Structure 1
Amino acid sequence: MKVAAIGFSCIDVYQNLDKQYATGNGIDCIVNLAKRGIQTSAITTVGTDLYGKEMLDLCKEYEIDSSHIQVNEGDTSVFYMTLKNGTDRFHIKNVPGVMENYTPTREDIEFTKTHDYVHTDMYGHVLHLLPEFREAGCKIILDFSLNKDFDVLGPVLRNTNYGFFSFEKYDDTIQDFLKKAYSYGPDIVTATFGEEGSMSYDGSTFYRQEIYPAAEIVNTVGAGDSFISGFVYGLIQGMDIPGCLDCGARTSSEIVQKFNPY
């Protein structure tokens, strides 16, 4: 099985802590999958600066295929970050860099279509390609993050197999939300609620998963991305939905005990 992450990528820079790492929703996911031995690829763009080299070095370290990472003249996308309450991320500003005008080439698109699973999000400039990927037989993993507007989500959900949503906490509206999201056509829709766990819906049953408490929380960045990686690993291994949720919760618990999101 092969998993591609196409679209958004960046470098998170914590200037007050003198720390940084290469990241992005899909990048975090495939690094965690690569650590489990899954064949992965990154399709995105970086600049000609040192941050771009950092992304390429990350892919080399985890044996992620970077042959379709465009290196374009200019700056790599950067998010300047800080931590509040010692562990929770807070975005200060984003410098979009070459990511702002990213467009996959036809070669990038055809390469992506050779993968079994394709991960992307709402910000990678590739949503118009989802029907083409699905027609090629790819299973689409979509990280919707905090997006809840069905006027925007509806067309995307129609071309999604596995949709993931983030909520701050669980409440009685979430089951109805998942039912509506599922009605657009995905195979499984999943919501995470931070310390209150997660829930998946497959059109007939709601599955609830509690978290695995971390011995020490260092940085909550990457909790959601690592959860998705664990869930997808479960899918690849043929697990049922409770098994996928459990694998996602375990992976997320491991990652929040590190500074980097993988």
Structure 2
Amino acid sequence: MRIVTVGDNCMDVYQSTGEACPGGNPVNVAVYLTELGAETAYIGWVGSDRYGEIMKKAIQGKGVNTSRVSVKEGTTAVTYVEMVGNDRQLGDYEEGVMADFKLTPEELKYAESFQLVHSAIWGHADPYFAYFKEKGLLTSFDFADKLDHELVTTLTPYVDYPFFSYSQDDDYIRSLMREVKGRGSKVVIATLGEKGSLAYDGVQFYKHGIAEVEVVDTLGAGDSFIAGYIYGTLKGLSVQACLEQGALRAAKTIGYFAAW
């Protein structure tokens, strides 16, 4: 099972303590997939600052291949995080060197050697998804809660497993999922916070609840759900079983501080 994740990374800086923890959706998904037993690589840019060194070493330390992580002159991306009880609130985002991220022809060729490529809404990897599909890769993408973003229309024809974040199972999200599925995705998935998750494969909707756990920090919950779902998919599990895998992996993540 070989997965490459592409795009944004950032240091999650907790404003109350000043503690800085590596993160970003493609990075987190790669780390969680490695913990599940997959072979993973991450392609992205970090800055020439202290955070860039911390980021690269931390990802390497988790067993993710970082041979295509490039150090660029400038600052590593930062997201400021504030804890409200045990829930994290994301504040300002400073994109740093990732603002100019692009893939080289060599990196595109390298990505072809994997089964699946994953990225996210802030990753600047969307221009390459038509290429990935043309080369026969499975694709997944986290649109987060940007349900009205133009990429939901333009990119989804090239995304096999699009993920969305929403608040509840209602007519709006089901209608959106049907729309997206109609553009060619294999399965459309929505995480619904404490209300569980929902998936649509063009035939029926599947629902799954959350795994009960004492919440320490919700940072990374959605990313770990995605990793669990992708892992289940590549193992050939049913849609329902993939939702369960996602819920179990998310429950593990919210039981400790920071994303990983």
Partner residue, 1:238: 236
Query: How far apart, CA to CA, are the structure 2 residues paired with 1:111 and 1:139?
Result: 15
SS at match of 1:57: helix
Cα 1:210–1:68 shift into 2, 3 Å: same
Shift of 1:19: 2.0
Matches of 2:86 and 2:190 in 1, distance apart?
A: 22
Distance of 1:179 and 1:187 partners within structure 2: 11
Post-superposition CA distance 1:84-120 (Å, at most 9, x none): 2x12222231221101111222211111121111000
**Equivalent residue number for residue 4 of structure 2:** 4
| Counterpart Cα distance in 1 of 2:144 and 2:111 | 22
Show the 5 A alignment for 1:41-80.
Answer: 41-80=41-80
Distance in 1 between the 2:231 and 2:88 partners?
26
Q: Quick check: 1:261 aligned with 2:232?
A: no
1:196-215 equivalences under 5 Å are 196-214=195-213
Identity of aligned residues (%): 33
In structure 1, what is the equivalent of residue 105 of structure 2?
106
One-letter identity of the residue aligned with 1:38 = A
Q: TM-score, normalized by length of structure 1?
A: 0.96
Cα distance change, pair 66–190 in 1 and its aligned pair in 2 (3 A): same
- CA shift, 1:150, in A, is 6.4
3-state DSSP of counterpart to 2:256? coil
- How far apart are the structure 1 equivalents of 2:176 and 2:91? 30
The counterpart of 1:219, out of the listed 217, 220, 225, is: 217
| 1:94 aligned onto 2:110 | no
Aligned to 1:187: 186
2: CA distance between counterparts of 1:171 and 1:45?
A: 38
Residue aligning to 2:226: 228
Partners of 2:156 and 2:132 in 1: CA distance: 14
Q: How much does 1:241 deviate? A: 0.6
- CA shift at 1:151, angstroms? 4.2
Secondary structure of residue in 1 paired with 2:20? strand
Runs of 4+ residues over 3 Å off in structure 1 = none
- Secondary structure in 2 matching 1:12: strand
Q: Matched residue pairs, number? A: 260
Taking the aligned partners of 1:33 and 1:59, their CA distance within structure 2 comes to 12
TM-score by length of 2: 0.96
Q: SS of the counterpart of 2:4?
A: strand
CA distance in 2, matches of 1:58, 1:193: 30
Once residues 171 and 16 of structure 2 are traced to their aligned partners in structure 1, the CA distance between those partners, rounded to angstroms, is: 39
Deviation at 1:140, TM superposition (A): 0.6
What is the match of residue 34 of structure 1? 34
Instruction: Look up the match of 2:246.
Output: 248
Structure 2 counterpart of 1:131: 130
SS class of match (1:124): coil
Query: Which residue of structure 2 aligns with residue 177 of structure 1?
Result: 176
Question: Within 2, Cα distance between the matches of 1:92 and 1:210?
Answer: 28
Mapped partners of 1:10, 1:150: distance in 2: 21
How far is the alpha carbon of 1:243 from its aligned partner? 0.7
Q: 2:49 & 2:259 partners in 1: Cα distance?
A: 22
Separation in 2, partners of 1:259, 1:187: 34
Unaligned stretches of 5+ in structure 2? none
